[in-house]
Structure 1
Amino acid sequence: MHDTCIFDLYGTLVDIRTDEKKKELWDRLALFYAFYGADYTPCELHHAYDCLTAEMSAGKGGIRKDAHEAYPEIRIEEVFLALFKEKGVNADEVLARHAGQFFRILSIDHLRLYDGTEEMLSALKNSGKKIYLLTNAQKIFTEYEMNALGITLYFDGIFISSEHECKKPDVRFFEKLIHTYGIDRDRAVMVGNDGVCDIEGAKKPGLQLYM
């Protein structure tokens, strides 16, 4: 019998669509940076962002082509901080986080829970199940999106890859969650939508699977 559920987030509980290539996004983000003295054209800012993201990912042992291809993980706020520093602006991490969150808001086309998600989480919680989140994501985006959707309170523990320098399907990410919360892997099920990150990844530490 399973008494622990480990969930993926995006594509499993949360339906999100983003577009980071929108011209309007880079126009407005360039204006945001200009407010603080970092003078970029929209095209220059977009190029600098792409280059910094790739360089930081490569420095951790992988090239960030998308959320699934490189197991090392970066903290995206470091990219937004570096964008200020490249223009000689002495910004702090708070401002970098706000820049990143503004970027995220501009990129979102829609953000919502899948039908029945909150009812399911509530039913699991009320039945005494332990509920954990294991997601490939950036804390400065995901933590606030979960709060906005009203689901944070259902989880007994939340693991976001940007805070652990690795991500699914890396077995280290699964093992960190298991050891931190003393999860009995024989009584825990992984629920996700990705055959590599969630399903193949969960097989390595011996979790039960549901897809």
Structure 2
Amino acid sequence: MKACIFDLDGTLTNTLESMTYSVNLTLKEMGLSQITKDQCRMFVGNGARVLIEESLKVSGDPKASRIEEGMKIYGRIFDQNCIYHVTLYEGIPEMLKALKDRGIHLAVLSNKPDRQTVKVVKEIFGDNIFDYAQGQKDGIRRKPEPDGVWYLMEQMQVSKEECLYIGDSEVDAATGKNAGLKTIGVLWGFRDRKTLETAGADHLIERPEELLQFV
């Protein structure tokens, strides 16, 4: 194995608090009711637009008719607060170091907007861990489409057989499958075992260090 591509939210970092906080500041500015952390957990994974759309529907705008306004406000607020209370899951730094020590290329692919993805990765991990960090940007379809995975593989010059995809949601399981990669589902993130099994992840792991057996 020569490379690993990781999802970000719920896989490397616990960003639930930062996203719930930013969504609720957005809803407050729009005069709508707040969402809970559990609701936010279920709404994340498909990008910012789906997150805001689903949040609007449960907060007093059932048809999400104010989605454009919501996206504009959320974009501004989340850019200021994307590091708010973001923490690393236990064992992640050690696992990443072990992979680096083995000469494995590391990349992040998130459905979070590209600017904030790069910002979070740089802030939390510094410049020396990941070869590439990429979020949602124009011209590359968001996960579960395989475009982002293939683009990163091209940058790292690795084949499908030489690369693992690692994530915590049904979107990630589908992404890895669509890209033709062996896909590892992590059980410490935003979804449960049943969801990941149903979605077709090749393997499930309970602790970060378990990933090392696949490389």
> Residue 169 of structure 1: SS of its match in structure 2?
coil
Per-residue Cα deviation, 1:109-150 (whole angstroms, up to 9, x for no partner): x31000111111111101111111111111332222222223
Deviation at 1:210, TM superposition (A): 1.4
Map of 1:43 onto structure 2: 30
1:64 is aligned to 49
- For residue 184 of structure 1, the aligned residue among 159, 166, 185 is 159
Distance 1:97 1:197, change over 3 A: closer
Task: Note if 1:205 corresponds to 2:179.
Answer: yes
Against the structure 1 CA distance between its residues 198 and 98, is the aligned structure 2 distance closer, same or farther, given a 3 Å change threshold? closer
Which runs of no fewer than 5 residues in structure 2 stay unpaired? Answer: 33-47, 55-67, 186-215
Amino acid at match of 1:115: E
Q: Is the 2:108–2:130 contact (alpha carbons within 8 Å) kept by the matching residues of 1?
A: yes
The percent of aligned pairs where both chains have the same amino acid is: 24
Letter in 2 for 1:167: R
Which of 133, 142, 151 lines up with 2:117 in the alignment?
A: 142
| Separation of aligned partners in 2, 1:168 and 1:103 | 23
Give 1:172's aligned residue. 147
Query: Aligned partners of 2:23, 2:143: CA distance in 1, in Å?
Result: 25
TM-score scaled to structure 1, two decimals? 0.60
Which one scores higher on RCO, CA 8 angstroms, separation ≥ 6? 1
C-alpha contact 2:165 2:183 (8 A) present in aligned 1: yes
One-letter amino acid of the structure 2 residue matched with residue 200 of structure 1: A
> Once superposed, what is the RMSD of the aligned Cα atoms?
3.4
Between 1:125-134 and 1:160-169, the stretch displaced more is 160-169
1:52-91 pair list within 5 angstroms: 64-66=49-51, 80=72
Offset of residue 165 of structure 1:
4.1
Q: Secondary structure at the match of 2:112?
A: coil
Q: Which runs of 5 or more residues in structure 1 are unaligned? A: 30-41, 47-62, 70-75, 84-95
> Helix, strand or coil: the match of 2:179?
coil
State whether residues 118 and 151 of structure 1, in contact with CA within 8 Å, keep that contact through their aligned partners in structure 2: no
Inter-partner Cα distance in structure 1 for 2:78 and 2:174: 31
Contact persistence 1:100–1:140 (CA under 8 A): no
CA 1:112–1:203 in structure 2 vs 1: closer, same or farther (change >3 Å)?
Answer: same
Q: Following TM superposition, by how much is the alpha carbon of 1:207 offset from its aligned partner in structure 2, in angstroms?
A: 0.8
Residue 101 of structure 1 is matched in structure 2 by 79
What one-letter code is carried by the residue in structure 2 that aligns with 1:13?
A: L
